Amino acid sequence: MTDLSINEELVSAIVTSFVRDEVLKVGSRGVVVAVSGGVDSALSAQIAVTALGKEAVTGLAMPYRQSSASSLEDAQLIAEQLGIELLVIEISPQIDAYFERFPDADATRRGNKMARERMSIAYDISATRSALVLGTSNKSELLLGYSTLWGDGAHALNPLGDLYKTQIYQLARHLGLPQRILEKAPSADLFEGQSDESDLGFTYAEADQILYHLIDERRPPGEIASLGLDPALVQVIWDRVRNSQFKRQPPLIAKLSGRSVGQDFRYPRDWGH
């Protein structure tokens, strides 16, 4: 096993400064973060509070009627501990109204719709507070494509996107997140009893080792198998990375003119800030 542990003090300081700098310099007053009750969003919210103060952070809990009741309780626990406002906005009415037209829709379709509904609410609330939407996707999810395109994957800033899930836990433990949050199984909570690791078919601990060698070390898949990691799983994960590349990119634009958005019109996002 390769040691993927991070220098928690250093990472904590950098991601905190990142949120403060990128929010304040564009003239925003704070952030809105969807708090699911899971470790990623709890950590993101905590970093934002350290960076900006609790008054500048708004938590959003957006349960569907089939979401686990404990998720909302955990979101409330996190908000209470951080001293932030938590808006609880039920998404059942609009989700149910929509799927009345498509009663046969499967769980994936319903889950994606919910994720996009939550994104839509987060952006709406953020506009009312001159705030930015803070993301909570970690590097494991991003690379595995384990997210909803334009759903949980849509946000203005993400302090956690370069930390593997196992590193998220390390940082969360270091920053003293509630034990209850640290101990529960990661879940997209699209339906009761769902868990990331059963959805994916492997654990984050396994995936992170393989992803580290593939992505950070740029080892060919064949070389990783020789490190004692399961060659079949290496291939599964490499395929997931390749097949989800579109999720990590802005939309493709048909190149026509001499200078085109997204291709050779290259300005930094922080242009003028």
Partner 1 sequence: MVAGTRPVRLGLVQHQPVLGDLQANLEWCCEKISAEVAAGTDLVVLPELSLTGYFLKDLTPETAVRLDGPELAKLIEATGRGAALVGLILESDQFNFYNAAVLISDGSVRHVHRKVYLPTYGIFDEQRHLAPGDQFLATDLPLAGGASWRVGILVCEDLWHPSSAYLLSRAGVDLLLCPSASPGRGVGSGEGELGSAGSYGAMLRTYAELFTVFAAYCNRVGFEDGFHFWGGSRLLGPDGLILAGPLDDSPGVLHAELDRGHLRRARIAFPLLRDERIDVVQRQLGLSSDD
User: Taking the complex as a whole, how short is the minimal distance between the CB of residue 160 and partner 1, in angstroms?
Assistant: 12
We find the least distance from the C-beta atom of residue 3 to partner 1, in angstroms, to be 7
Sequence-separated (6 or more) residues with CB below 8 Å from residue 123: 133, 154
Please state the closest distance from residue 26 (CB atom) to partner 1, in A: 11
- For partner 1, the closer of residues 113 and 165 by Cβ is 165
Contact string 8-27 vs partner 1 (x = CB under 8 A):
x-xx-xx--xx--xx-----
For residue 262, the minimal CB distance to partner 1 (Å) is: 13
Is 150 one of the binding residues for partner 1 (CB under 8 A)? no
One character per residue 206-245, x = contact with partner 1 (rule: CB under 8 A): ----------------------------------------
- The amino acid at residue 249 is Q
255 binds partner 1 (CB under 8 A): no
Do 63 and 71 meet the contact criterion of CB atoms below 8 Å apart?
A: yes
Of 250 and 272, nearer to partner 1 (C-beta) is 272
What angle in degrees, to the nearest 10, is found between the helix axes of 39-52 and 8-24?
A: 60
The amino acid occupying position 138 is N
14 or 182, CB closer to partner 1? 14
Between β-strands 131-133 and 85-88, what pairing exists: parallel, antiparallel or unpaired?
A: unpaired
**Could you tell me the CA-to-CA distances from 153 to 13, 81, 125, 221, 223 in Å, in that order?**
24, 26, 17, 27, 31
Distance of CA 107 to the CA centre of its chain: 20
Question: Is 8 in contact with 107 (CB distance < 8 Å)?
Answer: no
In angstroms, give the least distance from the CB of 240 to partner 1. Answer: 24
Which residues of the chain form contacts with partner 1 (CB under 8 A)?
3, 5-8, 10-11, 13-14, 17-18, 21-22, 265-273
